[in-house]
């Protein structure tokens, strides 16, 4: 197990060092905006963990945050480095993979670079041998508090990133005596919405609003009931203009992560896909305009038959305990148009 951990850190460090050298050679004076911690840069070996040591320590999590964000930033430097997008994708998992691909393709391989602040870490105490460990971190990204989740399979990757919404703050997370965060199981029944059902419930509210069976489980707002109102309004407008319109949310198979909050509730992080389809219903002269946000994927300004837009959204939602039920609140979000097709 110790050898696996060391190999994973060495791989990420080697990737960061190699990318920095390659990108600097390609771009001249490009410099990264973050530097790995001194302990991470010196990590070449690690003592055997004690029987009571968790699978992921807080020290390791701090190193991973520095290493992965540094590697990701270096890749975002505009350069002629071959396979840059593939390397960037290999630093991601879950919904972040689709968002990263769109970041590169929609900007002609010049995605926005971020400036990161120091993280506050939320590291669950996983037992040694855990196959899919993860941890979360709250850090400023370009000055805005952003909640990230990192997950490990063969290496550490960013799986989720959602910015705190204006006026929102993270609920108090539960920690044990050693500073490790509490994790909530996917089928936990002590909270009003179990983590495994968070995505489907949110998808239902975003589609049906206050009229569906899930009404009231998530608080009204711009990412829930207001989306449902928008869909209904656009469907009516499209019908009046001779088109059909629909917009569907799906949880797909995206991973879900949940931290225990001090009040007994949970902070759940998850992703949803939104697929919006517009189709002509009358004569061939009725063209569908392609929005500017999709022109990186569809070169023509109009389509004859069908336009399909796929968005990927990532959220963090505070879910109350079952002992004090109330509507869950979406407190963080990020998302992007990640695919566009049409005929």
User: What pLDDT digit, counting tens, does each position of 307-331 carry?
Assistant: 999 999 999 999 999 999 999 999 9
Residue 183 inside a domain? The answer is: no
Residue 293 inside a domain? The answer is: yes
- Domain boundary (147, 164, 181) is at 164
Residue 188 inside a domain? The answer is: no
Which of 8-17, 27-36, 189-198 tops mean pLDDT? 189-198
Q: Is 149 found in the same domain as 9?
A: yes
In this structure, are residues 144 and 163 in contact, taking their beta carbons and an 8 Å threshold? yes
Task: Considering only residues 42 and 260, tell me which one the structure prediction assigns the higher pLDDT.
Answer: 260
Q: Is 233 found in the same domain as 110?
A: no
Q: Is 105 found in the same domain as 60?
A: yes
Residue 318 inside a domain? The answer is: yes
**Residue whose pair of structure tokens reads 């002269």 in the numeric block:** 285
Task: Considering only residues 137 and 37, tell me which one the structure prediction assigns the higher pLDDT.
Answer: 137
For residue 100, pLDDT over 50 is answered with yes
- Domain boundary (164, 186, 212) is at 164
Instruction: Provide, rounded to the nearest whole percent, the portion of the chain with pLDDT above 70.
Output: 84
Q: Is 154 found in the same domain as 201?
A: no
For residue 115, pLDDT over 90 is answered with yes
Q: Is 153 found in the same domain as 236?
A: no
Q: What is the pTM of this model?
A: 0.87
Q: Is 336 found in the same domain as 224?
A: yes
Q: Is 275 found in the same domain as 212?
A: yes
Rg of the chain, C-alpha, whole Å: 22
- For residues 53-70, give the mean pLDDT: 97
- The CA distance from 225 to 4, in Å, is 46
Residue 109 inside a domain? The answer is: yes
- Worst-scoring range by mean pLDDT, 40-44, 81-85, 169-173, 195-199? 40-44
Q: Is 157 found in the same domain as 16?
A: yes
Q: Is 227 found in the same domain as 155?
A: no
- For residues 168-194, give the mean pLDDT: 97
Q: Is 218 found in the same domain as 152?
A: no
- For residues 159-170, give the mean pLDDT: 97
For residue 77, pLDDT over 60 is answered with yes
- Worst-scoring range by mean pLDDT, 78-87, 224-233, 261-270? 78-87
- The CA distance from 321 to 130, in Å, is 27
Q: Is 105 found in the same domain as 235?
A: no
**What three-state secondary structure class fits 189?**
coil
Residue 278 inside a domain? The answer is: yes
Looking at the structure of the chain, the number of domains it has is 2
Q: What is the pLDDT of residue 212?
A: 86
Q: What is the pLDDT of residue 15?
A: 55
What is the domain range of residue 238? Answer: 195-342
For residue 114, pLDDT over 70 is answered with yes
For residue 16, pLDDT over 90 is answered with no
Q: What is the pLDDT of residue 37?
A: 40
150 sits in which H/E element: strand 144-152
35 phi, psi to nearest 5 deg: -130, 145
- Domain boundary (164, 184, 218) is at 164
Q: Is 22 found in the same domain as 100?
A: yes
Query: What's the mean pLDDT when you consider all of the chain?
Result: 88
Assign 28 a pLDDT band (cuts: 50, 70, 90).
very low
Assign 45 a pLDDT band (cuts: 50, 70, 90).
very low
Q: What is the pLDDT of residue 241?
A: 86
* DSSP assignments along 69-89, one per residue: HHHHHHHTS----TTHHHHHH
């Amino acid at each position: 197990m110790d050898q696996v951990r060391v190999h994973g850190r060495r791989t990420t460090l080697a990737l960061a060092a190699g990318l920095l050298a390659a990108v600097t050679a390609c771009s001249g004076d490009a410099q990264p905006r973050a530097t790995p911690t001194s302990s991470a840069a010196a990590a070449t070996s690690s003592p055997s963990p004690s029987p009571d040591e968790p699978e992921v320590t807080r020290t390791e999590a701090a190193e991973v945050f520095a290493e992965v964000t540094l590697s990701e930033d270096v890749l975002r430097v505009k350069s002629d480095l071959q396979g840059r997008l593939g390397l960037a994708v290999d630093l991601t998992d879950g919904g972040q993979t689709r968002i990263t691909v769109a970041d590169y393709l929609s900007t002609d391989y010049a995605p926005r670079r971020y400036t990161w602040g120091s993280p506050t870490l939320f590291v669950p105490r996983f037992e040694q041998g855990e196959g899919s460990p993860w941890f979360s971190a709250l850090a400023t990204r370009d000055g805005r508090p952003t909640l990230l989740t990192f997950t490990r399979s063969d290496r550490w990757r960013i799986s989720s990133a959602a910015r705190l919404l204006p006026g929102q703050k993270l609920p108090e997370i539960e920690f044990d005596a050693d500073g490790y965060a509490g994790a909530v199981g996917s089928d936990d029944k002590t909270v009003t919405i179990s983590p495994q059902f968070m995505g489907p419930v949110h998808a239902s509210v975003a589609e049906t609003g206050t009229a569906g069976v899930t009404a009231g489980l998530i608080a009204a707002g711009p990412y829930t009931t207001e989306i449902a109102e928008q869909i209904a309004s656009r469907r009516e407008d499209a019908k009046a203009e001779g088109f059909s319109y629909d917009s569907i949310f799906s949880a797909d198979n995206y991973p879900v992560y949940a931290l225990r909050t001090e009040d007994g509730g949970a902070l759940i992080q998850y992703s949803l896909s939104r697929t919006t389809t517009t189709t002509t219903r009358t004569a061939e002269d009725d063209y569908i305009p392609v929005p500017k946000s999709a022109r990186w994927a569809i070169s023509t300004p109009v389509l004859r038959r069908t336009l399909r837009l796929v968005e990927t959204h990532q959220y963090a939602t505070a879910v109350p305990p079952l002992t004090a039920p109330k509507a869950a609140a979406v407190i963080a979000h990020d998302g992007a148009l990640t695919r566009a097709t049409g005929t």
